[in-house]
Amino acid sequence: MAELFRPFWWHDNALHLIDQRVLPHREHVVACRSVDDVAAAIRSMQVRGAPAIGCTAAYGMLIAAQQAFAAGVRPHAALAAAQAQLDATRPTAVNLMWATARMRQAAAQLDGAELIERLHAEADAITAEDLAMCRAIGQHGVALIPPRGHVLTHCNAGGLATAGYGTALAPIRTAHEHGRPVHVYVDETRPFLQGARLTAWELQRLGISLTLITDSMAAVMMQQGAVDCVIVGADRIVANGDVANKIGTYGLAVLARAHDIPFYVAAPSSTIDLARSGGEQIPIEQRDPAEVTMCGGVAVAPSGVAVANPAFDVTPARLVSAIITERGVITAPYHEALPRHGGH
Ligand code: MRU
């Protein structure tokens, strides 16, 4: 079995996580012992990636209940407050709100030690299910990787972004585990550099061959015939098949279509939001302008310049060749196929 990346784990009544802001230079572990700690870790992107923030928010809900229990206050009021605080950290990835709502539901009708036990089991189950869903995505998606196996990916949708196996990286990892040739073009993914810092680090550790490129090189790689397919993850897939993912994903989908290259989206059912009908309804997180004006702690723009920093974009369903979930591979019309693949 290939090596797992455990980006977070529960130990000694605290949520521990690998600080993804300082990878690949440092493997630093932080311990979150309060809801404030978990909310700050998600907001600052010490932990990031849609499934991973869902799992860690679930443990944040467990912490809220434990602390209420210890202080002798009503856990249900504490859980409602924690849900509101955690949901407000990052608006785009629906896995976050899905996980906190699931924890609230698990706690309903319970109290005292029984409630704590139940929430602990539920957070562990959310994490274990994510791992299983990602492995299934790998099994289904591996068939889509062409024989030469040259795949371009964007951002980090690997072990670090999930409970340990990844979504977009799952078919790639599975192909590698099966001994099939696979080579990954990794977009650096400005401004947060998830591709350069995290995906390159993961693939190197797994022994999977890769070439790191800047985002602006994707077009010429496709034009030169270097790329067989694109596989990306998702933060939210809505009922008509529109996909929110890391900023730059939409541009890649347009490029893939222009070069007649398949563009695949890999995501578990926890990312499918059937309550929203189209991509225009997806809230897009706007982040600190300093992420754009600075790079590696160095200013790269004149001070005072106007900056836009949307963290995600929406790729219209018509540009998506197929969506890979834990239940299989879906093609258009997505509004018919997606409800059969779960979602909420
Ligand atoms: O801002 P991030 O790093 O949390 O964005 C992550 C992405 O856009 C991923 O592609 C997505 O969450 C899927 S992760 C399996």
Local structure of residue 44 (DSSP, 8 states): T
Answer yes or no: is 68 within a domain: yes
Which CATH number fits the domain that encloses residue 88?
Answer: 1.20.120.420
Q: Residue range 139-150: average pLDDT? A: 97
Answer yes or no: is 33 within a domain: yes
Which CATH number fits the domain that encloses residue 190?
Answer: 3.40.50.10470
Distance 156 CA to ligand 1 centre (A): 6
Answer yes or no: is 2 within a domain: no
Q: What is the largest CA-CA distance in the chain?
A: 65
Q: What is the pLDDT of residue 334?
A: 97
Helix intervals (H) in the chain: 35-43, 50-71, 75-87, 94-107, 112-141, 169-177, 194, 200-206, 218-223, 249-258, 290-293, 334-337
Q: Are residues 22 and 38 in the same domain?
A: yes
Q: Alpha carbon of 269 to those of 121, 223, 237, 253, 279: distances in Å? A: 20, 34, 9, 22, 17
Answer yes or no: is 27 within a domain: yes
Q: Are residues 65 and 164 in the same domain?
A: no
Cis status, amide bond into 7, omega within 30 of 0 = no
Which atom of ligand 1 is least distant from the CA of 167?
A: 15
Can you give the residue range of the structural domain that contains 261?
140-341
Of 70, 100, 135, which one is at a domain's C-terminal end? 135
For 30-78, write each residue's pLDDT tens digit: 999 999 999 999 999 999 999 999 999 999 999 999 999 999 998 999 9
Q: Are residues 67 and 185 in the same domain?
A: no
Please say whether the beta carbons of 280 and 315 come within 8 A. Answer: no
Q: Are residues 314 and 188 in the same domain?
A: yes
Q: What is the pLDDT of residue 2?
A: 54
Task: Output the pTM of the full model.
Answer: 0.97
Q: Are residues 151 and 69 in the same domain?
A: no
Is 94 close to ligand 1, i.e. is its CB under 6 Å away? no
Q: Are residues 105 and 164 in the same domain?
A: no
Q: What span, in angstroms and rounded, lies between the C-alpha atoms of 132 and 119?
A: 20
Answer yes or no: is 3 within a domain: no
Is 235 close to ligand 1, i.e. is its CB under 6 Å away? yes
DSSP string, 50-116: HHHHHHHHHHHHHHHHHHHHHHTS-HHHHHHHHHHHHHTT-SS-HHHHHHHHHHHHHHTT--HHHHH
Bridge-partner residues for 212, per DSSP? 186
Answer yes or no: is 336 within a domain: yes
Taking alpha carbons only, the member of 46, 17, 25, 19 closest to residue 163 is 17
Q: Are residues 294 and 329 in the same domain?
A: yes
Per the structure, the count of domains in the chain is 2
DSSP-derived 3-state class of residue 17: strand
Answer yes or no: is 285 within a domain: yes
- Top mutation candidate among 235, 292, 315 for ligand 1, by most atoms within 8 Å of CB: 235
pLDDT confidence bin for 341, thresholds 50/70/90: confident
For 224-261, write each residue's pLDDT tens digit: 999 999 999 999 999 999 999 999 999 999 999 999 99
Whether pLDDT at 92 is above 50: yes
Is 311 close to ligand 1, i.e. is its CB under 6 Å away? yes
Of 101, 135, 169, which one is at a domain's C-terminal end? 135
Q: Are residues 233 and 174 in the same domain?
A: yes
Taking alpha carbons only, the member of 268, 244, 269 closest to residue 320 is 244
**What average pLDDT does the chain have?**
97
